[in-house]
Amino acid sequence: MSIKENLLAVKQTIPNSVTLVAVSKTKPISDIQEAYDQGQRIFGENRVQEMTEKWEKMPKDIEWHMIGHLQRNKVKYMAEYVSLVHGVDSPRLLTEINKQAEKHNRTIPCLLQVHIAEEDTKFGFNEEELLDLVRNENFKLHKNVKIVGLMGMATFTENMDQVRREFKSLQSLYLKLKSEYADFTTLSMGMSGDYQIAIEEGSTMVRIGSSIFGCRN
Ligand SMILES: *Cc1c(COP(=O)(O)O)cnc(C)c1O
């Protein structure tokens, strides 16, 4: 199937209320263009340099989302244009995003990454660290970042009960914070292999790569 057909097929399985991030990491401009020609405007990348090269070459109405683990020294390269940073996993990273956003006179929307996987290989805050951060008065002074929700990745496993359980725990944390913070609008969870479950468990934003663009090498 072509990218166009894949994209249409994926979109048919996603409610209108859920935002689709087409994850184009490692894929060439020509692939992104094909999805763009089908109306897709939100793309996710996990490397700043690659994303910046694509941003330079592609139409400027694309929203670029940084979905990967982010190093603080790379933030400056994307601060001018990035639309949403999904993987904020430390207070120092948030402080750096704030600093670089200020230089460009912008407010950068961010999602805090929560460690939901029962396996311990993934980045992110645990619940206690997360609550400490959002309730910390110092962070209210960060005027150039806006925390708009949470992001999480389930364990990579065939056990869909486990995946569902992890998504449920993320959603309950999200709803708890959403009741306190009006800015909370986004729960980013679900990838090609598990997005249907994520949507059932309340995801508002799915990040889908291989089901649209095919396997990555
Ligand atoms: C690569 C990646 C995705 C997309 O994965 P697929 O399985 O190809 O859909 C989603 N989220 C993150 C954080 C990723 O790194």
- Would 214 be classed as within a structural domain? no
Q: What is the number of domains present in the chain?
A: 1
- Would 159 be classed as within a structural domain? yes
- Would 141 be classed as within a structural domain? yes
Q: What's the CA gap between 16 and 168, in Å, rounded? A: 21
Verify whether ligand 1 is closer than 6 Å to residue 209 (CB atom): yes
Structure tokens at 216: 């990555």
> What share of the chain has pLDDT > 70, as a percent?
99
Range of the structural domain that residue 185 is part of: 3-208
Verify whether ligand 1 is closer than 6 Å to residue 67 (CB atom): yes
Centroid of ligand 1 to alpha carbon of 207 (angstroms): 6
Q: Which helix (H) or strand (E) holds 101?
A: helix 91-103
Question: For tokens 């859920």, what's the residue?
Answer: 18
Q: What's the CA gap between 136 and 58, in Å, rounded? A: 39
Q: What's the CA gap between 150 and 123, in Å, rounded? A: 13
Q: Which helix (H) or strand (E) holds 70?
A: none
Verify whether ligand 1 is closer than 6 Å to residue 207 (CB atom): yes
Verify whether ligand 1 is closer than 6 Å to residue 192 (CB atom): yes
Q: How confident is the model at residue 120 (pLDDT cuts 50, 70, 90)?
A: low
- Would 215 be classed as within a structural domain? no
SS3 for 206?
Answer: strand
Q: pLDDT digits over 158-212, tens only?
A: 999 999 999 999 999 999 999 999 899 999 999 999 999 999 999 999 999 999 9
Structure tokens at 214: 């095919």
Does the pLDDT of residue 114 top 90, yes or no?
yes
Structure tokens at 73: 């020294």
User: What residue owns the CA closest to ligand 1's atom 15?
Assistant: 68
Centroid of ligand 1 to alpha carbon of 54 (angstroms): 18
Tell me, what's the pLDDT at 136?
86
| CATH number assigned to the domain comprising residue 123 | 3.20.20.10
